[in-house]
Amino acid sequence: MADVVTYREAVAEGIAREMRRDDTVVCLGEDIAEAGGVFKTTVGLLDEFGPERIWNTPISEQAIVGAAMGAAMTGIRPVAEIMFSDFLACCWDYLANEIPKVRYMTGGQVTVPLVVRTANGGGLGFGAQHSQAVENWAFAVPGLKIAAPSTPADVVGLMAAAIRSDDPVVVFEHKGLFASKGDPAPADHVVELGRAATVRDGTDVTIVALASTVPTALAAAERLAADDISCEVIDLRCLVPLDVATVLASLERTSRLVVVEENPYQGGWGGTLVSIVADEGFDLLDAPIKRIAAACVPLPFADALEDQVIPNADAVADTVRTLAAY
């Protein structure tokens, strides 16, 4: 096995592992077969599993996700790809009204064990319609599980859990992380949905991050260590289930919280997280809670502009310093 693998390779590896162990797992999406996906995240799957299990689709987001839903209700475990997460808007009915509700509104008569995977987030200069971090869209809908890995090993482990889950799971793969490298996942690696990872221990400030903001938070923490500020960094890994317990336990040590989100501040997932902390963890806090999220504007194209909008390590470090001094 390679010493390190890319996040991109881990996507295909995670899917392939599940397809080997369960022949009801089937993939569908635009350009996923011969082309291996526009982000090359499904490379090798067609060769290994053939056209009976790797299905190219027309550019029909509603048909892709709606068909995945119907298949999931009837004995298949589909893994549907929506090329860019921005395009979830084209099939939002399925994510907002159909998939998360059908089990409930039928009184539990059907289950929908499907995965919708999608390339999320900015930093690559794709402009306003191909760069959004939209995990908060999904977070607004009860009935969807949401995973957003930050490392190759977690990609594999969360993909395994997502595909094995009898509940619908949206997996946000981060475009900006596809080229990043990390340890390969061990054999049979499964990361239970709803288990955050404490990726750096610390005592002064807790930084909660997700997907792309995990490396941002770690970079800030490294810098702050030079100033003798000790940061604990939590990678949430999932938004639903939301691992509040790990965050509250960390605050017992640090008493200070910074949440770093790539989705917009306006309606971002951190708002929900910090409202729980304010409610249930008020006594743990020695300083105000800070949220660092994307600015509330559409994503601009030019690097210099995009840098203004998406949270970076400088902003995290500055905020942590003010909290540490509080």
Partner 1 sequence: MTEPDLLAMYEQMHVIRKTEKAAHDLFMAGLVKGTTHLASGHEAVAVGASAALRPDDYVFATYRGHHHAIARGAAPEECLAELMSKATGLCQGKGGSMHLTKASSGMLGSYAIVGSHLPMAAGAAWSAQLRGTGQVAVAFFGDGATNIGAFHETLNLAAVWKLPVLFVCENNLYMEYTPIGTVTSVPNPAADRAGAYGLPGHVIDGNDVLAVHDAVAGAADRARAGDGPTVIEAQTYRHYGHSRSDPATYRPAEEVEHWLARDPLPLAHSRFTELGVDAADLDAAEQRAEQTVAAAVDAAKNAPDADPAEAFTDVWADGGSAWRT
Region 108-127 residues binding partner 1, contact defined as CB under 8 A = 108-111, 113
Task: Please state, in angstroms and rounded to a whole number, the distance separating the CA atoms of residues 323 and 308.
Answer: 22
SS3 string, 33-78, reads CCCCCCCCCCCCHHHHHCCCCEEECCCCHHHHHHHHHHHHCCCCEE
Work out whether 62 is an interface residue with partner 1 (CB under 8 A). Answer: yes
Nearest alpha-carbon partner for 30 in 105, 66, 71, 82:
82
Among 40, 43, 44, 63, binds partner 1 (CB under 8 A): 63
Question: Closest separation between CB of residue 191 and partner 1, Å?
Answer: 15
Among 12, 26, 153, 217, binds partner 1 (CB under 8 A): 26
Among 38, 76, 285, 295, binds partner 1 (CB under 8 A): 76
Q: Any residues with CB less than 8 A from the CB of 12 and at least 6 apart, and which? A: 36, 41, 42, 43, 44, 45
Work out whether 245 is an interface residue with partner 1 (CB under 8 A). Answer: yes
Kindly name the residue from 130, 145, 237, 290 that is annotated as catalytic. 130
Per the structure block, which two tokens stand in for 107? 């009184």
Query: Measured from the CB atom, is 101 or 321 closer to partner 1?
Result: 101
Among 75, 187, 279, 304, binds partner 1 (CB under 8 A): 75
Q: Any residues with CB less than 8 A from the CB of 20 and at least 6 apart, and which? A: none
Task: Please state, in angstroms and rounded to a whole number, the distance separating the CA atoms of residues 251 and 204.
Answer: 9
Is residue 174 among the annotated active site residues? no
List residues near partner 1 by CB under 8 A.
26, 52, 55, 57-58, 60-63, 65-76, 78, 93-94, 97-98, 102-111, 113, 142-143, 165-167, 194, 240-246, 276
